[in-house]
Amino acid sequence: MDELRDEYPSGWRILVQNESIGYILDALMDALPGSEFTKSELADKAGVSRQSVYSHLDLLLVLGVLEPVEDSSPERYRVNAENDLLELLHQVNGVVNERLAD
């Protein structure tokens, strides 16, 4: 069964299969809506290597949590304040924190 889960991961597994994705998403959840980052700035904020950001940037863009800032040099990426996934992650975070506080 583990092999099947690895071969055909759920959306949840895709988000948690690599520790650095969790750190990046956590940093994006802490960022103000519309915040902009270069890849290096995002790596610093998330506490991950620049290579991790480079490796996962396509996923973050496909998920819509980041969007490219047009005509920026160096390339910058904006936190998509209207992203459903970030909103859901905030809700999950709230439920987990509430239940752990009880």
For 22-59, write each residue's pLDDT tens digit.
Answer: 999 999 999 988 999 999 999 999 999 999 999 999 99
Q: Average of pLDDT values for 65-91?
A: 94
- Please report which residue ranges of 31-77 form alpha helices under DSSP H: 39-46, 50-63
Given a cut of 90, whether residue 81 has pLDDT beyond it is no
The number of C-alpha atoms within 13 Å of 97 and in the hemisphere containing its C-beta is 6
- Number of neighbouring beta carbons within 10 Å of residue 89: 17
Q: Find out whether 14 and 59 touch, Cβ atoms under 8 Å.
A: yes
Q: Which residues of 25-56 are buried (b: 16+ CB within 10 A; e: fewer)?
A: bebbeebeeebebbbebbbebbebeeebbeeb
| Residue 77 Cα to chain centre, angstroms | 12
Given a cut of 80, whether residue 1 has pLDDT beyond it is no
- For 79, phi then psi, to 5°, come to -70, 125
User: Model pTM greater than 0.75?
Assistant: yes
